[in-house]
Structure 1
Amino acid sequence: MTSEKPDIEQNDKVTTTNESSIVFNEEKTMELNNRLKNDFMSYCFSFLHEDEEARQCIQIVWNKYLECVGDVAMLSAFFDTLPYHIKTSVLPKYQNEIIQWCEKLFHIHSHALLCSTYYSETFQRVIRYALKPNQYKKAIIYIPMDFDPNLKIDLTSSLSNIKFEHISNKTSHEDMIDINRFEELIKRDINDSVSYPFMIIANAGSALLGRCDELKEIKQICERYNIWLHVIGDLLGSLALLSTIKDNVNISCDSLTMDIMKLFGIQNLPYLTFFLRSTIDINETDEQNSLQRSSHPLDDFILHSPSVSFLSVWSISQRCSNENIFYHMKQSFDLANLLLTRLKQIKTIHIINDEDNNETYTYQRICSGDAPNDVLPKSLVIFRFQSDNITELENIDNLTGYLDLLNLWLFDKLSHQHPKINLELLKSVHFQISKPNEPIQNQIAAHALRFAPLEHLLDVIDENDMQLFLDDIQRFSDILIATMTARANLASTVSKYSNLLSIPIQNWAGIGAVRYIPSNINPTNTDEISNYEINIIQSELARQLQTNDSAFSLSGGGTDEKDSLLYLRLGMIRKREDLDILLQKISNVGKEAESSIKYAEDMAEKIKAGIEKAEKDLQDENLQLLAQDGLLRQLPIVSNLMSWWSPAPSASATATKGRSFDLNSGRIESTEDTYVYRMQIRRQSHHAPTHNDTTSDNSDNIINSTDQKTNE
């Protein structure tokens, strides 16, 4: 008995020591983790010390992530260290909690749920999940025309037994599925020997324009031909914003994928895929001896994927209230609706994704059961400047291209004035619109502006910002209207000025271009000298006009003969009457510049002639001095002896004198009087330039007046 007590006491000491060391190690590890995290974040923020606004934005996004998600990386790392059979036991509990939470949150009834880190991985899982067993034909997946081509290439390279078929739409919009065309393709492919209709991917809020397909009708066709319907789009989560909804309401599809990072406004969240259709009749095990390691076929996918995906969603379900989660989505929908409503009041703004004014889309379009009749929200707004009320539009060459330039100018101005709005430019290379009252085939490439607040994590736009944004749209639209009108009337207005010539130019959003022609030049018959004079006066005009008005700029002067002449480009104007003011200013300044250049040229000729005359006079005087002094005085050594023997006179009458050019009199004079009187003597001339005549007359008047007073 006595020998056992020391052993027990020793074991207690070892246990106490181990526990204290574990506690100490945990505290030390936590301290080390915090220090490393702070050092890393401080180093990253050091690159933003000059951009305080960007630093604040990053801090807001990061704080929101910590508040809603927390540090799930530690839980994910711990879960990944568990043995596989332990994971299969732990996963169902949390997977069921996520499904129940999402069902209450989004009002979507699903049999399974999948969290995916990558978008392409989501489609791969859905396709593998829904593929029919023992099917050796290629599965046809029908997609709309705007489906991401990079995603299509990624899927076909990963899955060899699928192929894609685009559904063209010649009746409405190309980003929407033509139901009649879809059924025609099914009937064509159903008896094909190498492929079979398998799946269709539809939109509930297309990526570019936010439009919705007729999901209820597409679902009926899919049930008739046993085709899987998968739906994507930003409006799938909008059911959560409805105040009341019946239990039998559900999205009309077999599966759907939503980007909760956009819906929640929280970074680094996975894509959620809901499986509304049970796959017991699709994915049955064909081998009786196969081991079922998980309770659901999707559990294997989840266990072989990064665990941080489903743990992030589970952490949000435990931390955040519905109001906090839906704030970003509700705010984004409200801002888009506000902008859409206000833009309709501006006549010169064309809203592209609101072309179906005769039809209002409600939740009955995308939901089954007793769906509410509430209007579907707008997740984005696409608009462009476009005016058809100008009567002289036919005078504008390439009107479509010119409107694109105006919309590009509008985008630059709005983006600079309102960076928080996060406008996006849809370039005409990748974007097309339909002409008003014309079929879908007559689409034209066009620039447009896109406002999609749902795609940005920061909720920094309020109603006041939106009002200022709309005020600037109206103000810039008035400028564009005035500029378009001036461009249409430029040629006719320029014809009123004898010295101005209208120049047609491309790729310029301003009024156009004019060229000032000097009065002594015939614009129809020019040579190299006259072209040089024209370019000189254009440069002088631009220099003088740009000092007070930014509407002028100099361009032209290319290597081509047709582009060798310079011209003045006219920018934007605020009022239609400003065109006459600009042209009058060019004409007046041009005449002044022409007179100045002509005077400078005359003076240059006089100076040149004076220099030549002075050189000749100096040369004659040098020859005369050489003849008087003799040749010996010019030799280097002998000249010193001659000067010692017979010194030269200190001031010779024939000494070389300098020459000066009098700008007032225009005469070459000797500098002899300057050195004698130690001052420059000014002599007036009857041939002095006219700009000094006024001064001379004034001086004479003053002198005469003084003499008269003296005599009195």
Structure 2
Amino acid sequence: MVERRVGKLDLNGTVPSPASPGSGKSSSVSGDSGVLDDRPLAERKSGDAVQHAQEKTNGVESKQPHSGVSAVLQQLEQLIISDDWISKDAHNEKSHSEGPRLSELGRTLVTSSSLKAYIDLLGAQHRQSIAAWLYGNTSQTLSNLFRFPSGNLHCSDADSPLTNSPKSGIGYAVRLALRDRYGPERLAHGWKAFVEMGAPVVYVSPAVHLDLSTYLATEFSISDVVQLPKLEGDLSDVEGRIDLVAFEKQLDADISAGKLPLLVVGVVGSPILGQNDMISRLLELKKSKCGFWVHIVGQAIAALALKEPNKMLVDVLSQVDSFTFPLAMWLGIPAAPVVTLYRSVEGYKPTYREKLDALPWWVASQHLTPKKITQTIENAYFLSKAMLKGLSAFPEIEILGIENAAEFANRVYRGQYSPLNVLIFKYKYAELERFRKKRKESKSSTSSNEVDSEKNGKEKGSALSEQELAVIDKEHKEAMEYADSLNCWLGQGLITECRQLGLQMVELRGGHGTAFRFCPLESAATHSTRVEHIQKFIGQLETTLNIVSSTVAARKHFEELKSQYPSLGIFPIQKWAGVGAVCYIPSIVKDTDPKDWNEKQRQQVSHLNLELVHSLRSIDSAFSSGECSLYGVSCVKFGMLSDEKDLNDLVHLVAERGKEIEQSQQYMDSLAEMIRQGIEAANEDLKRENDARIMQEGVMRQIPLMSSLVNWFSPLDKETQNIKGRSFDLKTGQIHSTEMYYKRRLMAGENITSQEPHQNHSLVKAVEREKALKPDEQLQPFQEEVAQAADEPQENALNSEASRIVLAVLLLL
């Protein structure tokens, strides 16, 4: 007789394996090693006791070798719990990464994947019945929950937690739309159906941040994927909505071209601004133009599951053909597929595999119940209202898409407006707002000047406007960079200290800079966010904004304060939220413009400022060193100020401490070392030049007696005879030739700092001796010099002839 035992499902994730037929043994899992042991219970107990006694007697711990499936499971366990086996060169990650922490529901959902494989082993009728019952029960539960009557369920795996999760759902909607528009025979005809009925066109809202062109072309051979134009608005460059007028024109053009509009992907609750497309208008176009499929994605779909949802929202979304939403993310549960609800299509029935894919959501819906799902979504929207109320109390905070945050928050609490599913906020830098208005006015005035110039033939006014606009654009860019730095500084502390909120830093398009993103639907369930966390954040934000306001106020007076300290220069530093940066300029390079500093001077200035920062940090850790990319030197950066009145004392401290370091023995030693290196370099240049001169003159000229004879045969060039000295400039740290001091014609060509040389005493004596001569005697040397210049070619010829004669006589001797 064959005995069959089936283990019960353990919600903690342990599934006992059934005993093998005829063995009469039950399988169990060891709690210590996790290895399967197929021995009977009595035999295991007795064997463990004997083994423990033997280990105690021998005093040595022994381990039994594992074989078969147990060894494979143990190896797999080691691969999962540790990442030491991964090559660190290929994966630059820390070792011993912490595994995901699963709740009871999470462990059950992970186990359900194994149960799906086990159900496949059952008989055909048995497994078909299980899949149909799971699918029908789950579809009815979720359709009722999201107020989509007679909806069908499709579960697809998420490609990633946020961005790509709706992609597979959109693909399934395209498959349904193709069957609905082209009929079941499309599968048999293939591409010929596109030729007969027209090529399909898919229209995508500009708020869908997905690359669907490649995906749809690969999966369905659809090449026409149109990104619809945006509706013009103040924030359309950040995230747009469908321009329905342009869409209607696009529809008419495609229909005239013989194409078939297949599907439109609309958005309710965009991921950045939480905006909605006009879905009701899309439904009207569907009825009037052609029966395209309307598929919806977005965070605002969650509002359908509220206790008292917006009636207009329910009425509109109940008429669409399908929508996809990441319910697992909203509920904070892992290993659950993305949900797509769709209306029934004639002649289409889900397959057995599609029905069985609903198993994880059947488990989740049974464990959580629709009531708990609604409470979780209600909590997320309540957190959004609480955050909106807290942020509206700060005039320094700008919430994108809301002009009057305080009034909007009051209307939300009174129920006149629906709460936002996502909040994008940032610090409002007043200078940036001023430059934006000025820039806008300048552009409008420039355009008007251009029109007047075309009419009146004037070009001078428009040219001046372009120059002014360039200056304003530069100021606007600098203000925008500083505003981004302030928001990044806010995020460094607030995001770290308030992890329960799930705040994110996002880079907005259209030059709107960096901002905070708060979406409780995505993070509240995972982080167990409560209202107390919102209150803690608002309190810390108030403290931090006081520091930011003091720093911004002190920054305005920074330039004025610098004029009292000539030794300090304000240098621009990028991506710094503090007051600014100064550079202590030593007296040795004070007279030189920073743009004209050479490499030696930049090193000298950087060395002094680094020593200054090291000294200042012992007093105040807010000081730090920074690199000025404009001049290539190190600077002293001022941090954030809690009180703007402290700036005067801090600047005075930097100036005094810099002066002390400059006059200190250590700095003088470094300066002396630089001079010593310059002298050594000059000696090396002189030695190198002397060696080159000797090689050019030859060996014979170095012999005392022969040198005169050889010089008489072949006189040296004057340039070769002159030995140029070297001078070391203390201001620039450069080595120059002394020839510049004797030839004034080179001074105009050399772009270097000159020094006044000492007078030559022999030259002075010669001048005095010439003054003592008579006028005729003074003119005689100049006359002889003129005559010598006139006879120079003849003398050179005579010298060459005489040298040949003397050389012949020497050879005869």
Please give the range of the TM-score, normalised by the shorter of the 2 chains. 0.5 to 0.7
Secondary structure of the corresponding residue to residue 100 of structure 1:
helix
Of residues 505, 515, 521, the one that matches 1:425 is: 505
Q: Deviations over 1:372-425 (max 9, x none)?
A: 987433222211112227999787862112211222222222223223333222
Q: Could you say which residue in structure 1 is the equivalent of 2:538?
A: 470
Q: Deviations over 1:110-134 (max 9, x none)?
A: 3422222244332222111112224
Determine whether 1:572 maps to 2:637: no
Determine whether 1:139 maps to 2:200: yes
Superposed, 1:595-614 pairs within 5 Å as 595-597=663-665
Determine whether 1:539 maps to 2:599: no
Secondary structure of the corresponding residue to residue 35 of structure 1:
coil
Contact 1:402 1:507 in 2 (8 A): yes
Determine whether 1:120 maps to 2:167: yes
Determine whether 1:78 maps to 2:118: yes
Q: Could you say which residue in structure 2 is the equivalent of 1:271?
A: 338
Q: Could you say which residue in structure 2 is the equivalent of 1:677?
A: none
Contact 1:516 1:590 in 2 (8 A): yes
Q: Could you say which residue in structure 1 is the equivalent of 2:619?
A: 548
Q: Could you say which residue in structure 1 is the equivalent of 2:522?
A: 455
Q: Assess, with a 3 A threshold, how the Cα gap between structure 1 residues 360 and 102 changes in structure 2: closer, same or farther.
A: farther
Of residues 229, 245, 252, the one that matches 2:294 is: 229
Q: How many Å apart are 1:495 and its aligned residue?
A: 0.9
Q: How many Å apart are 1:585 and its aligned residue?
A: 0.9
Superposed, 1:360-509 pairs within 5 Å as 375-388=417-430, 398-427=478-507, 431-432=508-509, 443-456=510-523, 457-509=525-577
The code of the aligned residue for 1:524 comes to T
Determine whether 1:64 maps to 2:105: yes
Determine whether 1:238 maps to 2:303: yes
Q: How many Å apart are 1:197 and its aligned residue?
A: 1.5
The code of the aligned residue for 1:448 comes to A
The code of the aligned residue for 2:552 comes to M
Contact 2:571 2:583 in 1 (8 A): yes
Identity of aligned residues (%): 22
Contact 1:143 1:166 in 2 (8 A): yes
Moved more, 224-233 or 387-396: 387-396
Q: Deviations over 1:466-509 (max 9, x none)?
A: 22222222222232233233333322220122322222233333
Q: Deviations over 1:318-364 (max 9, x none)?
A: 33323333343233222222112211111111112435979989xxx
Contact 2:432 2:480 in 1 (8 A): no
Q: Could you say which residue in structure 2 is the equivalent of 1:591?
A: 659
Q: Assess, with a 3 A threshold, how the Cα gap between structure 1 residues 241 and 141 changes in structure 2: closer, same or farther.
A: same
Secondary structure of the corresponding residue to residue 458 of structure 1:
helix
Q: Could you say which residue in structure 1 is the equivalent of 2:145?
A: 105
Of residues 254, 266, 272, the one that matches 1:208 is: 272
Secondary structure of the corresponding residue to residue 426 of structure 1:
strand
The code of the aligned residue for 1:120 comes to K
Contact 1:396 1:487 in 2 (8 A): no
Q: Assess, with a 3 A threshold, how the Cα gap between structure 1 residues 573 and 333 changes in structure 2: closer, same or farther.
A: same
Q: Assess, with a 3 A threshold, how the Cα gap between structure 1 residues 45 and 82 changes in structure 2: closer, same or farther.
A: closer
The code of the aligned residue for 1:121 comes to S
Contact 2:396 2:427 in 1 (8 A): yes
In structure 1, C-alpha distance between the alignment counterparts of 2:360 and 2:324, rounded to whole Å = 17
Q: Deviations over 1:123-166 (max 9, x none)?
A: 22211111222443221111122323334422222111352111
Moved more, 263-272 or 563-572: 563-572
Q: Deviations over 1:639-681 (max 9, x none)?
A: xxxxxxxxxxxxxxxxxxxxxxxxxxxxxxxxxxxxxxxxxxx
In structure 2, C-alpha distance between the alignment counterparts of 1:502 and 1:17, rounded to whole Å = 85
Q: Could you say which residue in structure 2 is the equivalent of 1:189?
A: 254
The code of the aligned residue for 2:546 comes to D
The code of the aligned residue for 1:62 comes to S
The code of the aligned residue for 2:268 comes to A
Q: How many Å apart are 1:604 and its aligned residue?
A: 7.7
Q: Could you say which residue in structure 2 is the equivalent of 1:299?
A: 350
In structure 1, C-alpha distance between the alignment counterparts of 2:341 and 2:362, rounded to whole Å = 15
Contact 1:140 1:199 in 2 (8 A): yes
Q: Assess, with a 3 A threshold, how the Cα gap between structure 1 residues 98 and 21 changes in structure 2: closer, same or farther.
A: closer
The code of the aligned residue for 2:175 comes to R
Give the number of aligned pairs: 541
In structure 1, C-alpha distance between the alignment counterparts of 2:382 and 2:5, rounded to whole Å = 58
Determine whether 1:169 maps to 2:234: no
Q: Assess, with a 3 A threshold, how the Cα gap between structure 1 residues 390 and 161 changes in structure 2: closer, same or farther.
A: closer
In structure 2, C-alpha distance between the alignment counterparts of 1:75 and 1:384, rounded to whole Å = 47
In structure 1, C-alpha distance between the alignment counterparts of 2:477 and 2:557, rounded to whole Å = 12
Q: How many Å apart are 1:240 and its aligned residue?
A: 1.8
Name the TM-score, length of structure 2 as normaliser.
0.59
Q: How many Å apart are 1:167 and its aligned residue?
A: 1.5
Q: Assess, with a 3 A threshold, how the Cα gap between structure 1 residues 256 and 475 changes in structure 2: closer, same or farther.
A: same
The code of the aligned residue for 2:388 comes to L
Of residues 156, 159, 169, the one that matches 2:217 is: 156
Q: Could you say which residue in structure 2 is the equivalent of 1:260?
A: 327
The code of the aligned residue for 1:255 comes to S
In structure 2, C-alpha distance between the alignment counterparts of 1:357 and 1:484, rounded to whole Å = 23
Secondary structure of the corresponding residue to residue 272 of structure 2:
coil
Contact 1:411 1:425 in 2 (8 A): yes
Q: Assess, with a 3 A threshold, how the Cα gap between structure 1 residues 336 and 519 changes in structure 2: closer, same or farther.
A: same
Name the TM-score, length of structure 1 as normaliser.
0.67
Q: Assess, with a 3 A threshold, how the Cα gap between structure 1 residues 351 and 298 changes in structure 2: closer, same or farther.
A: farther
In structure 1, C-alpha distance between the alignment counterparts of 2:616 and 2:431, rounded to whole Å = 32
Q: Assess, with a 3 A threshold, how the Cα gap between structure 1 residues 506 and 78 changes in structure 2: closer, same or farther.
A: closer
The code of the aligned residue for 1:335 comes to L
The code of the aligned residue for 1:189 comes to D
Contact 1:328 1:459 in 2 (8 A): no
Q: Could you say which residue in structure 2 is the equivalent of 1:344?
A: 392
In structure 2, C-alpha distance between the alignment counterparts of 1:227 and 1:404, rounded to whole Å = 43
Contact 1:260 1:272 in 2 (8 A): yes
In structure 1, C-alpha distance between the alignment counterparts of 2:225 and 2:667, rounded to whole Å = 76
Of residues 262, 282, 294, the one that matches 1:198 is: 262
Of residues 316, 322, 338, the one that matches 2:364 is: 316
Q: How many Å apart are 1:16 and its aligned residue?
A: 6.8
The code of the aligned residue for 2:149 comes to H
In structure 1, C-alpha distance between the alignment counterparts of 2:420 and 2:606, rounded to whole Å = 54
Secondary structure of the corresponding residue to residue 395 of structure 2:
coil
In structure 1, C-alpha distance between the alignment counterparts of 2:247 and 2:177, rounded to whole Å = 20
Q: Deviations over 1:214-244 (max 9, x none)?
A: 2222212222221211001122132222248
Contact 2:2 2:21 in 1 (8 A): no
Q: Deviations over 1:150-200 (max 9, x none)?
A: 34422222111352111112423343222222222212222112x222211
Secondary structure of the corresponding residue to residue 113 of structure 1:
strand
Gaps in structure 1 of 5+ consecutive residues:
1-13, 285-296, 362-371, 433-442, 609-712
Moved more, 255-264 or 349-358: 349-358
Contact 2:266 2:294 in 1 (8 A): yes
The code of the aligned residue for 1:76 comes to K
The code of the aligned residue for 1:548 comes to I
Q: How many Å apart are 1:92 and its aligned residue?
A: 3.2
